[in-house]
C-alpha cells in the first residue's frame, strides 16, 4: 500500500475535539455579528513567489543519498544572486537549504533560512531542475483562506437554502437525502466546539507543521507539528505578523464557519441547518496563523482525509466521501504535490470541492481551482448573479456565497483570539459557496453510494440550472440544483454514445471501457468529449475523435488539456519504436516510456528533437517538460542523454555526451560559455560545438575548451 513519509513528530498534545464539553446553546443574533478583521488590501490570497520552502521530487529509482541531496541543494542555492549589493551593502551569503520533511509521492520539502522572493525562487528552481535526478521542483506556496472578510450588514435568515430564485430550495432535496452515512472533510483552520456541530464531528487531525520560532503566516500556535487535535487555535495576529506592515487581526474561525455551512445539525431547534445536516464532519487542520498553510501540509491533509496512509500518523478510521477546500493562492498551474494529494483522494472515491477564489479573475490562474479532477465553485449573490469578487471562467458550477448586502449565516466562535464559545456569524465569499456544494455532494452520495467522483461531478453539471442573474466570464454549468441532482442520482440513468465519439468507441470500446458520463460539448474550437472507464474521447472538427488515457492524458491535462499548450489530440496513442508510446497533439507530442514516464515536447525544442530522430535519436525520451526562466529568457528540456537549450538569438540547440558533461561542469548556460549556438559538428575523429562565449572540442577522449 502506498504510504506518505511524514515528519516524525511526537504529539505533545492529544485532545479529541468531539470529546470536548459543549458550550450552552447560542441562538443566531438579530443583527450581524461584529465583523472579523479585514484581509490584506489585495482582497485575496497573498502574491505567489514569497515563501521559504520548495518541494523537490527526485526521479523514481534515481534518488540520491542524503549527502548527495545536500550537495544538490547547496549548489542550487549558490546560484541565487547575492543580496545586499543592490542596496549598497555587502552581498550576503547564499541561503541555507535544509530538507525538513516529505509530502505526497515521496517528494521532499526543503526549507531556506529566510523568505525567498519570486526572482530567487525562479533561479533556485531552475538550478534544481538542471540535475538529471530531479523530476521537478516547485515553490511550497502558502495557501490562504478565501472567505471575503465580514462587513457589518444585516441578514436575518438562510436565504441561500430557501426556495427562492437565487436560493437552492434544500427542503425539496431533504425529502430524499440529508447526507446520512456520508463524511465531509473540512481542510481548513480547524474547528471549535459548537452546540450546532459537536454531535456531527468525528475525530480529525492537525497537519500544520510550522511550530518553531515566533508567530508568522502558517504558524501552528499549539507548540508542536502534526498531532491528533484539529482544534482551531485562532488565526489572529498582531501588527506586522502577517507580513510587513500588516494590521492586527482577530481570528476568523473560518473552519468552523465552513463546517457549519456544509453540515451543521438540522431539526434540532438550535441555530442553523447545514446543507447536509445528516452527514458527519471530519475536521482536518492545515491552515494556521494568518489563515495560511503550506501546500505540502495541505496535500497530505487531503489524502489522509480520504483514507490514504501517512507514515507517523494513525490511519483515518472515517475516510471522507467529499473533501472541501475553502482556500487558495495565485498560481497559473496546480502544484504537483497538491495535484498528487487530490489524485489520491479521487482514487479513493472522495470528491474534492474547492473554492474558485475571490479575485474576480479567471479561475485558471488560481489553485486549487485549476487542479485536475476538482469541483471548482464560483459564488452567487442573493439576486442570483455572479458575485463581483468571485473568480469565473473554468469553474464547474456556482453556489450561493453572498455579498456584503446579503451574507451567509453559519456557525462561529465568540473569541477574538482564542476560542471563546459557540456563536453564529455572517460571512461571504467562495469559501461559503464551496462547502455548500460539498454538502450537495453528500446528498448525492447518500442517494447512490456507488457513484465515482467523476460521476458525481457529471450529475452536478448535468442538473445545474441557469443563473437567475448575469455571470460575466462564465459560471460553468450554472447554479447547483440539489433536488435535481438527487433525483438524477436516484434514476441511475445509463450513459450512451453518439456521433464521431460513439463511432470510435464502437471500434475500440474494449480498450476504453463503458461510458461514465454523457457527451459534453462547448469546449474550445466547439469541441466535445466523453468520459469512459479508462480515459476519455475528445473530438473537434479539426482533429476528429481521439482517445486519451493513462499517463499521457495526465501529462496533457497538466499542460491545460484542450485549452492548454498542446491543444486537441491529432492521433491515437501509438508505439514509438523505443519501447514506449507517443501521442501527437495539435501543438506537440506526449511521449511515455517505462523508464522516463510521460512528458510533452513542443515548440522549437520539440522541432529540434524531432529532427534529431525523436525518441529513437541520440537524445532519447524526454525526462520532463520544457522549463523556462533561464538567463535571457531562455528555456531548456532534459532528455535521457542530454538537453536542448533555446534562446531567441540562438534557436534550439542540443548538448550531450562528453561535450555536454564538460558544459555542465562549466555551469552550463549560467557559466562563461553561455548558450550553444550550433549543434555538434564532427570532422574526422574530432567533434566541436560552438557556444556564445567560446567552444568545446572533443578528440581521443580529451576535452578542449576555448574562450572567445
Per-residue cell: 659: 561535450
Catalytic residue among 194, 219, 254, 277: 254
Q: Which residue, among 59, 178, 197, 65, has the nearest Cα to 129 in the 3D structure?
A: 59
Q: What is the CA radius of gyration of the chain?
A: 26
Cα–Cα distance between 199 and 264 in angstroms, integer?
Answer: 9
User: Cα separations (Å) of 638 from 57, 553, 629?
Assistant: 15, 20, 14
Is 292 among the catalytic positions?
no
CB 136 within 8 A of CB 129: yes
Cα–Cα distance between 326 and 45 in angstroms, integer?
Answer: 12
Is 188 among the catalytic positions?
yes
Residues contacting 4, CB < 8 A, separation 6+: 102, 103, 104, 300, 303, 304, 308, 309, 310, 311, 313
Catalytic residue among 209, 296, 379, 431: 431
Per-residue cell: 177: 437525502
Determine phi and psi for 679, rounding to 5 degrees. Answer: -75, 180
Per-residue cell: 101: 520533511
Per-residue cell: 405: 448586502
Is 431 among the catalytic positions?
yes
Three-class DSSP category at 631: helix
Ordered DSSP codes for 244-304: TTPPPB----HHHHHHHHHH---SSSSS---TTTTSEEEEEE---GGGEEEHHHHHHHHHH
The DSSP element (H or E) to which 490 belongs, if any, is helix 482-491
Asked if the bond preceding 166 is cis, omega within 30° of 0, the reply is no
Three-class DSSP category at 201: strand
Q: What is the DSSP letter of 524?
A: G
Q: What is the DSSP letter of 37?
A: P
Q: Is 81 exposed, middle or buried (0-12, 13-18, 19+ CB in 10 A)?
A: exposed
Q: Is 416 exposed, middle or buried (0-12, 13-18, 19+ CB in 10 A)?
A: middle
Cα–Cα distance between 436 and 84 in angstroms, integer?
Answer: 49
Q: Is 106 exposed, middle or buried (0-12, 13-18, 19+ CB in 10 A)?
A: middle
Residues contacting 506, CB < 8 A, separation 6+: 497
Per-residue cell: 106: 515521496
Catalytic residue among 188, 206, 232, 297: 188
Q: What is the dihedral of CA 106, 107, 112, 116, to 10 degrees?
A: -160
Cα–Cα distance between 559 and 443 in angstroms, integer?
Answer: 33
First-to-last CA distance in the chain?
Answer: 57
CB 188 within 8 A of CB 255: yes
Long-range contacts of 385-388 (CB under 8 A, 24+ apart): 385/467, 385/468, 385/469, 385/470, 385/471, 386/467, 386/469, 386/470, 386/471, 386/472, 386/473, 386/475, 387/428, 387/430, 388/360
Q: Give catalytic residue positions.
A: 188, 254, 431
Amino acid at each position: 500500500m502506498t504510504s506518505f513519509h511524514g515528519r516524525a513528530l511526537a504529539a505533545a498534545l492529544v485532545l479529541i475535539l468531539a470529546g470536548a464539553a459543549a458550550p450552552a446553546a447560542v441562538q443566531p443574533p438579530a443583527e450581524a455579528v461584529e465583523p472579523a478583521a479585514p484581509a490584506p488590501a489585495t482582497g485575496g490570497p497573498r502574491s505567489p513567489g514569497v515563501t521559504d520552502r520548495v518541494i523537490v521530487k527526485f526521479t523514481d529509482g534515481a534518488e540520491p543519498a542524503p549527502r548527495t541531496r545536500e550537495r544538490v541543494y547547496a549548489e542550487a542555492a549558490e546560484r541565487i544572486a547575492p543580496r545586499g549589493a543592490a542596496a549598497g551593502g555587502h552581498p550576503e551569503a547564499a541561503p541555507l537549504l535544509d530538507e525538513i520533511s516529505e509530502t505526497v509521492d515521496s517528494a521532499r520539502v526543503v526549507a531556506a533560512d529566510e523568505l525567498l522572493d519570486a526572482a530567487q525562487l525562479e533561479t533556485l528552481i531552475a538550478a534544481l531542475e538542471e540535475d538529471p535526478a530531479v523530476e521537478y521542483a516547485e515553490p511550497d506556496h502558502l495557501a490562504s483562506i478565501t472567505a471575503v472578510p465580514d462587513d457589518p450588514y444585516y441578514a436575518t435568515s438562510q436565504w441561500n437554502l430557501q426556495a427562492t430564485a437565487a436560493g437552492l430550495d434544500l427542503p425539496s432535496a431533504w425529502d430524499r437525502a440529508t447526507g446520512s452515512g456520508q463524511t465531509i472533510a473540512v481542510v481548513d483552520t480547524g474547528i471549535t466546539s459548537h452546540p450546532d456541530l459537536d454531535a456531527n464531528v468525528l475525530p480529525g487531525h492537525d497537519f500544520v507543521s510550522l511550530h518553531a520560532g515566533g508567530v508568522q503566516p502558517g504558524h501552528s500556535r499549539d507548540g508542536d507539528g502534526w498531532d491528533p487535535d484539529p482544534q482551531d487555535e485562532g488565526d489572529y495576529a498582531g501588527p506586522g505578523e502577517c507580513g510587513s506592515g500588516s494590521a492586527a487581526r482577530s481570528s476568523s474561525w473560518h473552519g468552523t464557519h465552513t463546517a457549519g455551512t456544509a453540515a451543521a445539525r438540522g431539526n434540532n431547534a438550535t441555530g442553523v441547518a447545514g446543507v447536509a445536516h445528516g452527514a458527519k464532519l471530519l475536521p482536518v487542520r492545515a491552515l494556521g496563523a494568518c489563515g495560511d498553510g503550506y501546500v505540502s501540509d495541505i496535500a497530505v491533509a487531503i489524502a489522509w482525509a480520504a483514507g490514504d496512509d501517512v507514515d507517523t500518523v494513525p490511519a483515518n478510521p472515517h475516510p471522507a466521501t467529499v473533501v472541501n477546500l475553502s482556500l487558495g493562492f495565485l498560481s497559473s498551474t496546480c502544484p504537483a504535490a497538491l495535484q498528487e494529494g487530490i489524485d489520491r483522494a479521487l482514487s479513493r472515491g472522495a470528491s474534492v470541492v474547492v473554492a474558485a477564489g475571490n479575485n474576480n479573475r479567471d479561475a485558471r490562474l488560481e489553485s486549487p481551482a485549476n487542479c485536475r479532477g476538482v469541483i471548482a465553485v464560483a459564488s452567487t449573490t442573493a439576486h442570483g448573479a455572479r458575485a463581483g469578487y468571485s473568480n469565473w471562467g473554468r469553474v464547474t458550477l456556482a453556489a450561493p456565497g453572498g455579498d456584503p448586502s446579503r451574507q451567509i449565516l453559519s456557525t462561529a466562535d465568540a473569541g477574538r483570539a482564542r476560542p471563546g464559545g459557540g456563536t453564529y456569524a455572517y460571512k461571504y465569499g467562495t469559501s461559503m459557496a464551496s462547502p455548500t456544494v460539498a454538502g450537495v455532494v453528500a446528498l448525492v452520495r447518500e442517494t447512490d453510494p456507488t457513484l465515482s467522483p467523476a460521476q458525481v461531478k457529471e450529475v452536478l453539471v448535468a442538473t445545474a440550472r441557469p443563473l437567475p442573474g448575469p455571470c460575466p466570464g462564465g459560471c460553468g454549468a450554472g447554479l447547483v440544483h440539489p433536488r435535481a441532482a438527487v433525483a438524477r442520482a436516484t434514476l441511475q440513468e445509463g450513459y450512451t454514445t453518439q456521433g464521431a465519439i460513439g463511432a470510435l468507441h464502437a471500434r475500440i470500446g474494449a480498450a476504453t471501457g463503458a461510458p461514465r458520463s454523457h457527451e459534453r460539448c462547448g469546449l474550445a474550437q466547439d469541441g466535445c468529449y466523453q468520459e469512459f472507464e479508462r480515459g476519455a474521447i475528445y473530438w473537434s472538427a479539426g482533429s476528429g475523435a481521439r482517445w486519451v488515457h493513462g499517463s499521457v492524458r495526465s501529462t496533457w491535462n497538466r499542460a491545460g488539456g484542450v485549452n492548454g499548450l498542446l491543444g486537441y489530440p491529432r492521433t491515437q496513442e501509438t508505439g514509438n519504436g523505443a519501447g514506449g508510446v507517443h501521442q501527437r497533439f495539435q501543438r506537440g507530442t506526449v511521449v511515455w516510456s517505462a523508464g522516463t514516464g510521460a512528458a510533452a515536447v513542443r515548440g522549437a525544442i520539440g522541432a529540434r528533437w524531432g529532427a534529431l530522430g525523436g525518441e529513437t535519436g541520440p537524445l532519447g525520451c524526454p525526462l520532463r517538460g520544457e522549463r523556462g526562466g533561464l538567463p535571457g529568457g531562455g528555456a531548456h528540456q532534459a532528455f535521457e542523454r542530454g538537453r536542448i537549450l533555446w534562446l531567441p538569438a540562438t534557436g534550439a540547440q542540443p548538448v550531450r555526451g562528453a561535450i555536454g558533461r564538460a558544459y555542465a561542469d562549466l555551469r552550463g548556460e549560467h557559466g562563461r560559455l553561455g548558450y550553444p549556438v550550433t549543434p555538434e559538428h564532427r570532422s574526422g575523429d574530432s567533434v566541436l560545438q560552438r557556444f556564445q562565449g567560446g567552444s568545446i572540442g572533443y578528440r581521443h577522449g580529451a576535452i578542449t575548451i576555448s574562450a572567445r
